C-alpha cells in the first residue's frame, strides 16, 4: 500500500523542522494547510513517537510515524461521509453507535457521524 499524497522532500523537511520547534517550545501538536491543494497536515506527539496525519480534501487520509528524523508511512484510509444514500454508513445516538455495511468505524466524538473505510 502507498500513500494517497506523496510527500515532497520540502514538505517532509518542514514537518521535521516543526517537530523540532514543538519540542523546543514544549508543544504537543501543530497543524498547517496547503489551501490551494486542499491538504491539511496534523502533527501530534505520542509517548514514543510523533504522528503525521495528511488529509486531502477531507477525504483521503495518510498516517506517518516519526521517530528521531525517520518518517515512516503506516497506512491510509478513505473517509466516507455518513449518508442514508451510501450503503456503508453509521448512525450514532450518544455513545452508542450502530454500523451498517462492512469495514471499520472510529468514533471521534459525540456528533461525528463518520464511517472510515480502509484504503485498498
Task: Give the model's pLDDT for residue 2.
Answer: 86
Say if CB 99 and CB 88 are below 8 A apart: no
Whole-model pTM over 0.75: no
How far lies 43's CA from each of 27, 98, 119, in Å?
A: 10, 30, 21
Radius of gyration of the chain (CA): 16
Cell 453509521 sits on residue: 90
With cut-offs at 50, 70 and 90, classify the pLDDT of residue 55. Answer: very high
The ranges assigned to domains in the chain are 9-75, 82-118
Amino acid at each position: 500500500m502507498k500513500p494517497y499524497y506523496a510527500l515532497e522532500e520540502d514538505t517532509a523537511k518542514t514537518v521535521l523542522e516543526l517537530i523540532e520547534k514543538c519540542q523546543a517550545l514544549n508543544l504537543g501538536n501543530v497543524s498547517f494547510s496547503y489551501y490551494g491543494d486542499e491538504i491539511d497536515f496534523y502533527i501530534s506527539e505520542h509517548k514514543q513517537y510523533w504522528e503525521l496525519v495528511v488529509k486531502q480534501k477531507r477525504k483521503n487520509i495518510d498516517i506517518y510515524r516519526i521517530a528521531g528524523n525517520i518518517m515512516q508511512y503506516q497506512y491510509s484510509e478513505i473517509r466516507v461521509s455518513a449518508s442514508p444514500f451510501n450503503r456503508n454508513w453509521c448512525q450514532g445516538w450518544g455513545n452508542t453507535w450502530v454500523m451498517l455495511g462492512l469495514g471499520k468505524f472510529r468514533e471521534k466524538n459525540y456528533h461525528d457521524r463518520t464511517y472510515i473505510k480502509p484504503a485498498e
